[in-house]
């Protein structure tokens, strides 16, 4: 029941011979050699656990470097202790294809709407800004967040728990845009494409689709501000699709083309990639085959302790503050329970500010520290639909949708 | 800091480049301010950035040649070097996926050597 890896997210400095100045202008040459670099250890069941910390990406502060190109940048977990909104400069980054525009001219950018519509559109950003404005706080979480904890391990981006973030998104309703274009009868799905592209033309371009009803539900928005500022290029500048409650794969970055379809989207990224077992919690046994799959979709509840980490010391007999974050998935947080006895009893924690059902929700509790041994803190979110986190982690070959109960183990001194 | 970075990086033309000890690349230019669009009280400013590249290659000398040639065009080497130990069957499936689904231009005759290299990697602790 209890997390058995004593190593927590620990930092250290690894020294190398040479200097950064010896590198070329923007080549982050050999991340494993030739320069002094901060490293972080991710508490995976087995290695590689070590990752560089980097500040080399534009408009980004310190991030965990999972992959240089195309960038996979993870949010250092302590950032989540600073508040329920994740700062733009430490918000995680995930690109699939390596051809990413490095210049965006706001005066020439166009958002195109076409396909099964009466009036195809090509909107300038000033026209986009004039559309009725809405604002929403929502969690953006990678389908494979926490993949590195899967056992048996699976290939993919080996994320810790930091491939998620929560931001206030400002933009316009997708529905308003689709209404302006006039969706024709018989529309089935809406497909989204961004300005990124593959290295080789034959590689499938990254496109995602939502059902027409989902696209028109009034909650899916196209954002141009993130926490009140234009978003970093790496988070999708100038426009990003926001699909509250659904995994990040649908939140298409640098959104430039919207195509209304009169047939189900059979492109690679819907038909083949990002498929999950069509089972509760996307859970199958590692030896299972032949099960039905479906495109990944809504998120599940999760919760984390943010002010303490496994391996931290606490004083015998003290009373400590424990705090963290939770989210319901595609609905709000009903409650967050904290257990110090492996789930025999649960303390109901005090919930923080409610920024809406798609946001992180802060929680806190006071816990008495026993006289000796270890103190285990297990945290469990139940959402407003009554779904709760389970002790047993799910497993699937994609490493998707991990949401089991997290346990932090503290040393009593 | 965010605003500072944006200013530094939004200037369109590369001036002098400076790599600090921490590895931060800042670009100093003196050209005109980037273009903007303003409507309904919101201003968006053109972006011009330079994304870091990677010249990292796979360790192992001659044996690594086949992965260095075939496996770093679409993604940097760290993607593979950060993977846990996977079976030869699992690596074969990954290589097949890259070729069949992602259309990576890999010479079919190189595939056995690529799979051998990947399956024999010793992941760092």
Show Cβ contacts of residue A134 under 8 Å, excluding neighbours closer than 6 positions. Answer: A170, A171, A172, A173, A221
Q: What is the pLDDT of residues A265-319, one digit of tens each?
A: 999 999 999 999 999 999 999 999 999 999 999 999 999 999 999 999 999 999 9
- The answer, yes or no, to whether residue A324 has pLDDT greater than 50, is yes
- Residues A52 and A123 both lie in one domain: yes
Show Cβ contacts of residue B89 under 8 Å, excluding neighbours closer than 6 positions. Answer: none
Q: What is the mean pLDDT of chain A?
A: 93
What is the nearest CA distance from B18 to chain A, expressed in angstroms?
7
- Residues B72 and B96 both lie in one domain: yes
Distance CA A221, CA A134 (A): 8
- Residues A359 and A406 both lie in one domain: yes
| A412 in Cβ contact with A311 (< 8 Å) | no
- The answer, yes or no, to whether residue A191 has pLDDT greater than 80, is yes
Higher pLDDT among residues A345 and A37, named by residue: A345
Q: Quick one: DSSP state of residue A202?
A: T
Contact across the interface for B101 and A204, Cβ inside 8 Å: yes
Distance CA A220, CA A218 (A): 6
B90 found inside a domain: yes
What is the nearest CA distance from B31 to chain A, expressed in angstroms?
16
Helix (H, G, I), strand (E, B) or coil at B11: coil
Q: Strands (DSSP E) along A262-332, which ranges?
A: 275-277, 293-295, 302-305, 313-314, 319-327
A383 found inside a domain: yes
Helix (H, G, I), strand (E, B) or coil at B66: helix
Query: At B90, which CATH number?
Result: 1.10.760.10
For the purposes of burial, counting CB atoms within 10 Å of the CB of A368, is it exposed (0-12), middle (13-18) or buried (19 or more)?
Answer: exposed
Contact across the interface for B105 and A37, Cβ inside 8 Å: no
B87 found inside a domain: yes
What is the nearest CA distance from B81 to chain A, expressed in angstroms?
8
A242 found inside a domain: yes
- The answer, yes or no, to whether residue A262 has pLDDT greater than 70, is yes
Contact across the interface for B46 and A106, Cβ inside 8 Å: yes
A331 found inside a domain: yes
A289 found inside a domain: no
What is the nearest CA distance from A92 to chain B, expressed in angstroms?
15
Distance CA A293, CA A275 (A): 6
Contact across the interface for B36 and A106, Cβ inside 8 Å: yes
- Residues B32 and B76 both lie in one domain: no
Chain B residues within an 8 Å CB radius of A13: none
Contact across the interface for B21 and A104, Cβ inside 8 Å: no
Under the banding of pLDDT at 50, 70 and 90, the label for residue A37 is low
- The answer, yes or no, to whether residue A236 has pLDDT greater than 50, is yes
- Residues B117 and B67 both lie in one domain: yes
Best of B4, B64, B84, B90 to mutate (most A CBs within 10 Å, chain A): B84
Chain B residues within an 8 Å CB radius of A37: 23
Q: What is the pLDDT along chain B (125 residues), one digit of tens a residue?
A: 333 333 333 333 333 333 333 344 444 455 679 999 999 999 999 999 999 999 999 999 999 999 999 999 999 999 999 999 999 999 999 999 999 999 999 999 999 999 999 999 988 88
Chain B residues within an 8 Å CB radius of A54: 23, 52
Domain that holds residue B7: 2-50
- Residues A269 and A306 both lie in one domain: no
Distance CA A305, CA A363 (A): 9
- Residues A266 and A349 both lie in one domain: no
- Residues B35 and B69 both lie in one domain: no
What are the respective helix, strand and coil percentages of chain B, to the nearest 5?
A: 40, 15, 45
Find the closest chain B residue to A46 by CA distance. Answer: B125
- The answer, yes or no, to whether residue A344 has pLDDT greater than 90, is yes
Contact across the interface for B125 and A47, Cβ inside 8 Å: yes
- The answer, yes or no, to whether residue A242 has pLDDT greater than 90, is yes
H helix runs in chain B, sequence order: 2-10, 65-70, 78-81, 88-100, 111-119
Beta bridge partners of B17: B27
What is the nearest CA distance from B73 to chain A, expressed in angstroms?
7
From the list B5, B47, B86, the residue facing A237 with the nearest CB is: B47
Chain A residues within an 8 Å CB radius of B49: 58-59, 102-103, 233
A293 found inside a domain: no
B13 found inside a domain: yes
Q: What is the pLDDT of residues A66-122, one digit of tens each?
A: 999 999 999 999 999 999 999 999 999 999 999 999 999 999 999 999 999 999 999
From the list B38, B44, B76, the residue facing A238 with the nearest CB is: B44
Q: What is the pLDDT of residues A363-409, one digit of tens each?
A: 999 999 999 999 999 999 999 999 999 999 999 999 999 999 999 99
For the purposes of burial, counting CB atoms within 10 Å of the CB of B2, is it exposed (0-12), middle (13-18) or buried (19 or more)?
Answer: middle
- Residues B67 and B113 both lie in one domain: yes
Q: Judged by CB atoms within 8 Å, which residues 46-105 of B form the interface with A? A: 46-57, 73-76, 78-79, 81-86, 90, 94, 101-105
Q: What is the pLDDT of residues A59-68, one digit of tens each?
A: 999 999 999 9
How many structural domains are present in chain B?
Answer: 2
How many structural domains are present in chain A?
Answer: 2
Instruction: Note the pTM of the prediction, 2 decimals.
Output: 0.90
**Residue of A230, A213, A232, A13 lying closest to A128 (CA atoms):** A230
Contact across the interface for B86 and A27, Cβ inside 8 Å: no
Show Cβ contacts of residue A175 under 8 Å, excluding neighbours closer than 6 positions. Answer: A215, A216, A217, A218, A220
Q: Quick one: DSSP state of residue A30?
A: -
H helices, E strands: number in chain A: 4, 27
Q: Judged by CB atoms within 8 Å, which residues 5-24 of B form the interface with A? A: 5-6, 9, 12, 14, 17, 19-24
In Å, how far are A82, A125, A316 from A319, measured between CA atoms?
22, 53, 9
Contact across the interface for A28 and B54, Cβ inside 8 Å: yes
Count CB neighbours of A22 within 10 A: 11
Distance CA B123, CA B10 (A): 39
- Residues A342 and A224 both lie in one domain: no
Best of B1, B13, B22, B94 to mutate (most A CBs within 10 Å, chain A): B22
B55 found inside a domain: no
A136 found inside a domain: yes
A202 found inside a domain: yes
Q: What are A92's two structure tokens?
A: 């995680």
- The answer, yes or no, to whether residue A161 has pLDDT greater than 70, is yes
Distance CA A341, CA A167 (A): 34
Centroid of chain to Cα B62 = 23
Query: At A51, which CATH number?
Result: 3.90.420.10
Q: What are A38's two structure tokens?
A: 């901060």
A113 found inside a domain: yes
Helix (H, G, I), strand (E, B) or coil at A386: coil
Distance CA A307, CA A101 (A): 38
For the purposes of burial, counting CB atoms within 10 Å of the CB of A134, is it exposed (0-12), middle (13-18) or buried (19 or more)?
Answer: middle
Domain that holds residue A158: 7-40+47-273
């Amino acid at each position: 029941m209890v997390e058995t890896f004593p190593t927590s997210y620990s930092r250290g400095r690894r020294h190398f011979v040479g200097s950064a100045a010896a590198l070329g202008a923007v080549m982050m040459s050999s991340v494993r050699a030739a320069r002094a670099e901060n490293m972080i250890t991710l508490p995976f069941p087995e290695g590689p656990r070590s990752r560089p910390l980097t500040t080399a990406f534009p408009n980004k502060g310190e991030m965990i470097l999972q992959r240089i190109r195309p960038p996979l940048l993870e949010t250092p977990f302590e950032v989540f202790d600073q508040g329920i909104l994740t700062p733009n400069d430490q918000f995680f980054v995930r690109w699939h294809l390596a051809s990413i525009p490095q210049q965006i001219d706001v005066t020439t950018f166009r958002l195109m709407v076409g396909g099964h519509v009466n009036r195809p559109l090509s909107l300038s950003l000033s026209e986009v800004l004039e559309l009725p404005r809405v604002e929403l706080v929502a969690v953006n979480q990678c389908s494979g967040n926490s993949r590195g904890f899967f056992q048996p391990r699976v290939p993919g981006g080996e994320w810790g728990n930091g491939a998620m973030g929560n931001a206030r998104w400002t933009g316009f309703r997708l529905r308003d845009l689709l209404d302006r274009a006039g969706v024709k009868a018989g529309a089935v799905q809406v497909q989204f494409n961004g300005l990124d592209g593959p290295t080789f033309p034959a590689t499938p371009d990254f496109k995602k689709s939502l059902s027409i009803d989902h696209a028109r539900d009034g909650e899916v928005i196209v954002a141009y501000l993130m926490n009140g500022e234009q978003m970093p290029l790496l988070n999708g500048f100038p426009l990003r699709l926001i699909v509250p409650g659904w995994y990040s794969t649908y939140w298409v970055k640098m959104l430039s083309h919207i195509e209304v379809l009169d047939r189900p989207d059979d492109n690679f990224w819907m038909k083949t990639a990002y498929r999950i077992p069509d089972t509760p919690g996307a859970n199958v046994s590692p030896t299972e085959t032949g099960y039905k799959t479906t495109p990944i979709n809504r998120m599940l509840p999760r919760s984390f302790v943010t002010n303490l980490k496994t391996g931290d010391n606490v004083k015998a007999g003290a009373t400590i503050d424990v705090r963290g974050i939770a989210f319901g998935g595609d609905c709000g947080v009903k409650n967050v329970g904290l257990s110090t006895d492996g789930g025999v009893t649960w303390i109901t924690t005090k919930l923080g500010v409610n920024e809406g059902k798609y946001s992180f929700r802060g929680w806190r509790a006071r816990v008495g520290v026993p006289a000796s041994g270890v103190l285990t803190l297990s945290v469990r979110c139940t959402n407003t639909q009554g779904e709760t986190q389970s002790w047993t982690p799910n497993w699937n070959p994609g490493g998707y949708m991990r949401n089991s109960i997290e346990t932090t183990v503290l040393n009593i001194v | 800091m965010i605003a500072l970075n944006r200013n530094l990086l939004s200037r369109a033309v590369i001036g002098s480049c400076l790599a600090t000890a921490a590895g931060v690349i800042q670009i100093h230019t003196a050209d005109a301010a980037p273009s903007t669009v303003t409507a309904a009280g919101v201003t968006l400013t053109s972006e011009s950035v330079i994304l870091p590249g990677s010249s990292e290659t796979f360790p192992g000398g001659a044996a690594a040649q086949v992965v260095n040639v075939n496996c770093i065009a679409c993604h940097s080497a760290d993607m593979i070097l950060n993977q846990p130990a996977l079976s030869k069957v699992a690596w074969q499936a990954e290589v097949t996926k890259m070729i069949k689904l992602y259309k990576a231009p890999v010479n079919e005759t190189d595939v056995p050597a690529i799979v051998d290299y990947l399956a024999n990697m010793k992941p760092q602790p």
